[in-house]
Amino acid sequence: MSSITMVQAVNDALREEMRGDDDVVVLGEDVGINGGVFRCTADLIDEFGEERVIDTPLSESGIIGAAVGMALYGLKPVPEIQFSDFIWPAFDQITSEMAKMRYRSGGQFTCPMVVRTPYGGGIRGGHYHSQSPEAYFTHTPGLVVVIPSDPYDAKGLLKAAIRCEDPVIFLEPKRIYRAPKMDVPDDDDYVVEIGKAAVRREGTDFTITAYGAMVAVALEACEKAAEQGWSGEVVDLRTLLPLDEDAIIQSVTKTGRLVTLQEATKFCGFSSEISAIVAEKAIDVLEAPVKRVSGFDVPFPYTLEHVYMPHADRVLKAIEGVMTY
Amino acid sequence: MSSTDMLQVISKNGKAKRGAEPNLPKKTLLAMYEAMMQTRLLDERMINLQRQGRIGFYVPSTGEEAAQVGSCMALDDTDWLFPSYRVPGLFLMRGVDIQHLVANCFGNEADLCKGRQMPVHYAFAEHKLVSISSPIGTHIIHATGLAMAQKLKKDKGISAVYFGDGGTSSNDFHSGLNFAGVAKAPVLFICTNNQWAISVPIEKQTASETIAIKGEAYGMPGVRVDGNDVLAVYDACKKAADRARKGDGPTLIELMTYRRGPHSSSDDPTRYRGNQADEWLDRDPILRFRKYLEVADMWSEKQETELIERLKAGINAEVKKGEAAGQPSLETMFTDVYANVPPHLREQYENLVRDEGTGHEPDPDAAFPL
């Protein structure tokens, strides 16, 4: 065990998988000598050389497209998109090519690969360094979408993603890149299974679903709710697609109340899907309407970022709403 | 030779330019001729099927047979090809059985792509012919990435990617050539300049004097070839392939030709270019190669008649089989989305079977002319 940050966890996962499999390569902007703008690929070039840690020209569609070609040939590329806000030139490559290769070729061709990209607000990055694009990708059949909420999961899920047979969008919540630290296993074989949610706090009165940096906000809100005598359960989704529906239904069946939490914009957000699934499959257990806490339906603001971002008190209001309905 | 000159081997009257002939055995030359003829006849038959409402869509390549067959002949079995529309000759030249092309156009249960794409979106992993997508140019960068992987693994093969003049305007023409230039990747960029992207002529596609000249800016040679001259196409592609194999990097090859037919079964080219295509009839690549073979005493009228009869009979037999085959099973709608069927897709499949059964009739609008 080592006590490490999420950045170190990502770096360790990449290093271990590259040591274990010569076909794993990293490519992207500034990932080589600079080690990535967040240092997630730091020092990999020293150990694995320029051939496997590739500084590419500045083109997101080029990075993902080249990785698709590499994956077709049998490599296991892990391209980095510097900020998820810059991913859109590669949207065609991701949704029309990477995601559909297996299906459209009748299973003759596949391109398993992991697109890593930092996402989310809380670093005063304005709208081009802060957005949460997960719903664009969860709307695309063929993609696996994974979001860790702490260093332990970041390492274990990334290692599992690199070993996955399907293409994975791996969104890293950069707000918690450098804190908190956490004990993470050094064991090469340790992975966190894709497709399984985790209950981060057990409770009996209400459920909060969250992912990424919002898990900590959900836990903080539950602390505050406990002062009022309300017992909250937090389900960290970890994988958004394919979604662990059972974990959500199980928790809501126990508590009877649901607050969904995300920092992305609200309309057609991922939480809306959770709300719909619960409405379809478990409306009988609900004792109050579902409440969604999210960012607002505006471009991500700079100066008023702290107002935009969901915080514990705002979540507490929603908890009060479902508890006093 | 500069990137604005045009390489030619066979003149219009079938005579080869002295010293320009590639050294190919008679057997190979005749195989190339047969593939060109088979391509022509397949295109004619499939477009007729579409007109009769028996298949939904087709993209003919009439007039471009030399570009397909000559370039493919220059590549090895270890090489990976990224095809576009309008290249059935590649598949035939590389040994794909014609039944698979026909099955794809019917989208039937025998289609290796399981009826999941429109006609002509082929994929043949066994022959290293990568799956075709409709968005233009996206595969150009795939070829570069794959070539980078071949180089990294120190393997023998190279990659080659086919696209048209319209494709040179796409994002991934730029990223594909740029990445390949920087990485010195072993890849051939084969642009079939047929001068039309649906209704948009080449002069509205680029202000560049040629396509080939664009190679220079990416740090690679660009060569311009008479695309209706199968031996010139072969020769240029062979040289570029040898160069890539030696580790000297990519080449951009512009094959000058003309799209004699419509873009696809869905458009009428007389709307945007009148009878311009007629000017290209006497520059037919099959006619030119036939004259060459006749001048060299390798081909006769009798052989021509026999070949056409044999190829037509083969195509007809496959069409009959293809039309009689059933549609892909219901499960194929849900498999291959992921390596394993995830719970939510299993649930959707089971609900579908529960509510609507498995006995789906073929869609009466299956041949709807898009």
Q: Which residues of B18-38 are buried (b: 16+ CB within 10 A; e: fewer)?
A: eeeebeeeeeebeebbbbbbb
H helices of chain A, where?
6-20, 44-52, 60-73, 91-92, 101-104, 134-138, 151-163, 214-227, 245-255, 270-282, 305-308, 312-323
- Alpha carbons B10 and B209: distance in angstroms, whole number: 24
Nearest CA to A241 among A151, A167, A149? A167
Residues A42-61 pLDDT 10s: 999 999 999 999 999 999 99
Give chain B's domains with CATH numbers: 26-324 (3.40.50.970), 329-370 (no CATH)
Q: Which of residues 304-323 of A touch B (CB under 8 A)?
A: none
Please state, for a pLDDT cut of 90, what percent of chain A lies above it. Answer: 98
- Rounded to whole angstroms, the Cα distance separating B275 from B287 reads 20
All residues of chain A having their beta carbon less than 8 Å from the beta carbon of residue B339 are 102, 110, 112, 165-166
Q: How far is B304 from chain A (nearest CA, A)?
A: 36
Nearest C-alpha in B relative to A76: B149
Q: What is the pLDDT of residues A201-240, one digit of tens each?
A: 999 999 999 999 999 999 999 999 999 999 999 999 999 9
Q: What is the pLDDT of residue A111?
A: 97
3-state secondary structure of A198: strand
**Residue-level pLDDT at B360:** 80
Residue B143 CA to residue B148 CA, distance in Å, equals 9
Question: Sign (positive/negative) of CA torsion A63, A69, A70, A76?
Answer: positive
Mutant choice from A27, A68, A72 vs B, greatest count of B C-beta within 10 A: A72
Indicate whether A262 pLDDT > 70.
Answer: yes
Burial class (CB in 10 A: 0-12, 13-18, 19+), A234: buried
Q: Residue B113: which of A66, A104, A110 has the nearest Cβ?
A: A104
Using an 8 Å CB-CB cutoff, list chain B residues near A74: 149
Give start and end residues of each alpha helix (H) in chain B: 26-51, 65-73, 88-93, 98-106, 138-152, 171-183, 202-205, 214-217, 230-245, 270-273, 285-295, 301-324, 343-356
CA torsion sign for B326, B329, B334, B337 is: negative
Q: Is the pLDDT of residue B6 over 80?
A: yes
| Residue B369 pLDDT > 60 | no
| A26 in contact with chain B, both atoms CB, cutoff 8 A | no
Instruction: Please list, residue by residue across B1-10, b when 16 or more beta carbons sit within 10 angstroms of its beta carbon and e when fewer do.
Output: eebeebbbbb
B251/B244 Cα distance (integer angstroms): 8
**Per-residue confidence at B368, pLDDT binned at 50, 70, 90?**
low
Q: Which of B32, B41, B36, B100 is nearest to B311 (CA)?
A: B41
Is a pLDDT exceeding 60 seen at residue B82?
A: yes
Minimal CA separation from B303 to chain A, in Å: 38
B370 pLDDT band, cuts 50/70/90, is: low
CB contact (8 A) between residue B145 and residue A105:
no
Q: How far apart are CA B73 and CA B89, in angstroms?
A: 10
Q: Which residue among the candidates B100, B139, B243, B259 is catalytic per the annotation?
A: B259
Residues of A whose CB is below 8 A from B112: 105-106, 108
State the pLDDT at residue A1.
Answer: 87
Tokens at A182, concatenated? 């956490």
Q: Which residue has the tokens 């050539």?
A: B177
Binary contact (A51, B152; C-beta < 8 A): yes
**Res B367 pLDDT > 70:** no
ipTM of this predicted structure = 0.96
| CB < 8 Å to B344, chain A | 242-243, 245
A69 touches chain B (CB under 8 A): yes
**Are A69 and B143 in contact (CB < 8 Å)?**
yes
Helix A151-163 with A6-20: angle, nearest 10 deg: 30
- Whole-number Å distance between alpha carbons of B128 and A89: 28
- For position B363, what pLDDT does the model report? 78
pLDDT at B149 over 80: yes
Write the residue in A68, A101, A103 that is nearest to B145 by C-beta: A68
List, for residues B199-217, the tens digit of each pLDDT value. Answer: 999 999 999 999 999 999 9
pLDDT of residue B361: 80
Please, which residues have CB within 8 angstroms of residue A98's CB and are 6 or more apart in sequence?
A64, A67, A68, A71, A111, A113, A115, A142, A143, A167
**pLDDT (0 to 100) of residue B55:** 93
Q: What angle do CA A153, A102, B364 make, to 5 degrees?
A: 130
User: 3-state DSSP call for residue B7?
Assistant: strand
Q: Which residue has the tokens 């009996």?
A: A204
Residue A319 pLDDT: 98
The pLDDT assigned to B1 comes to: 59
The answer to whether the beta carbons of residues B94 and B257 sit under 8 Å apart is: no
Check if the beta carbon of residue A176 is closer than 8 Å to that of residue A219. Answer: no
Phi and psi, residue A5, nearest 5°: -85, 175
**What domains can you pick out in chain A, each with its CATH number?**
2-184 (3.40.50.970), 198-323 (3.40.50.920)
B139 is catalytic: no
Respond yes or no: is residue B259 known to be catalytic. Answer: yes
| pLDDT higher than 70, residue B366 | no
pLDDT for A155 equals 98
What integer pLDDT is reported at residue B364 of this predicted model? Answer: 73
